[in-house]
Amino acid sequence: MTHTNETAGTTTTFPSRRAFTGACAAGALTLATGGATARASTPPAPADFTALRAAISDLAHPEATAAQLLVEWQGSRWYGTAGATDSADRRPVRRDDRFRAGSVTKALVATAVLQLWAEGRVDLDAPVTHALPGLGLPAGFRRVRIAHLLNHTSGLPDAQGLPDLSTPETVLRHRFDHWTPEQLVGTVTHAPLKFEPGTKQEYRGINYVLLALLTEQSTGRRYGDVIASRILRPLGLTRTFLPGDDPRIHGPHIHGYLRMTDGTLRDATVYDQSASWGEGELVATADDLFRFQHALFSGAVLPPRALEKMVTLPPPTVRMLDGSPARYGMGLQTATVNGTTFWGKSGESYGYRTRMFATRDLTTSFVLSYTPTPLNAQEDMITRVVTALTSPHPQRS
Q: Give 36-46 pLDDT, tens digit per residue.
A: 333 332 233 44
**Average pLDDT of span 240-265:** 97
Band of residue 8 on the pLDDT scale cut at 50, 70, 90? very low
Q: How far is CA 371 from the centre of its chain?
A: 14
**Average pLDDT of span 140-154:** 98
The set of residues, in sequence order, having a beta carbon less than 8 Å from that of 228 and lying 6+ positions away, is 241, 242
Out of 3-17, 89-103, 237-251, pick the least confident.
3-17
Per CATH, domain 2-389 is 3.40.190.10: no
Q: Give 191-243 pLDDT, tens digit per residue.
A: 999 999 999 999 999 999 999 999 999 999 999 999 999 999 999 999 999 99
The set of residues, in sequence order, having a beta carbon less than 8 Å from that of 172 and lying 6+ positions away, is 258, 266, 268
Q: Verify cis geometry, omega within 30 degrees of 0, for the bond prior to 43.
A: yes
In the chain, the N- to C-terminal Cα span, in Å, equals 16
* Residue closest to 98 by CA, chosen among 361, 352, 380, 385: 352
What pLDDT does 11 receive?
24
Mean pLDDT of the chain: 89
Band of residue 48 on the pLDDT scale cut at 50, 70, 90? low
Q: Give 301-328 pLDDT, tens digit per residue.
A: 999 999 999 999 999 999 999 999 999 9
DSSP secondary structure string for all residues of 381-392:
HHHHHHHHHT-S
Q: Where are the domains of the chain?
A: 2-389
- Residue pair 104/347 in contact (Cβ under 8 Å)? The answer is yes
Does the pLDDT value for residue 74 go beyond 90? no
Q: Please state, in angstroms and rounded to a whole number, the distance separating the CA atoms of residues 373 and 369.
A: 13
What pLDDT does 288 receive?
98
**Average pLDDT of span 86-92:** 90
**Average pLDDT of span 43-63:** 80
What is the signed CA dihedral for 337, 96, 292, 147, rounded to 10 degrees? Answer: -80
- Residue pair 159/188 in contact (Cβ under 8 Å)? The answer is yes
Q: Give 111-144 pLDDT, tens digit per residue.
A: 999 999 999 999 999 999 999 999 999 999 999 9
What pLDDT does 75 receive?
85
Q: Give 325-345 pLDDT, tens digit per residue.
A: 999 999 999 999 999 999 999
Band of residue 89 on the pLDDT scale cut at 50, 70, 90? confident
Q: Please state, in angstroms and rounded to a whole number, the distance separating the CA atoms of residues 304 and 61.
A: 40
Q: What is the pTM of this model?
A: 0.89
Does the pLDDT value for residue 5 go beyond 70? no
What pLDDT does 312 receive?
98
Band of residue 27 on the pLDDT scale cut at 50, 70, 90? very low
What pLDDT does 49 receive?
83
What pLDDT does 64 receive?
98
What pLDDT does 263 receive?
97
Out of 88-97, 150-159, 192-201, pick the least confident.
88-97
- Residue pair 177/71 in contact (Cβ under 8 Å)? The answer is no
What pLDDT does 14 receive?
21
Does the pLDDT value for residue 146 go beyond 50? yes
Band of residue 391 on the pLDDT scale cut at 50, 70, 90? confident
Residue ranges of alpha helices (H) inside 5-48 are: 22-25
Exposure of 387 in the CB half-sphere (CA atoms within 13 A): 16
Q: Verify cis geometry, omega within 30 degrees of 0, for the bond prior to 62.
A: yes
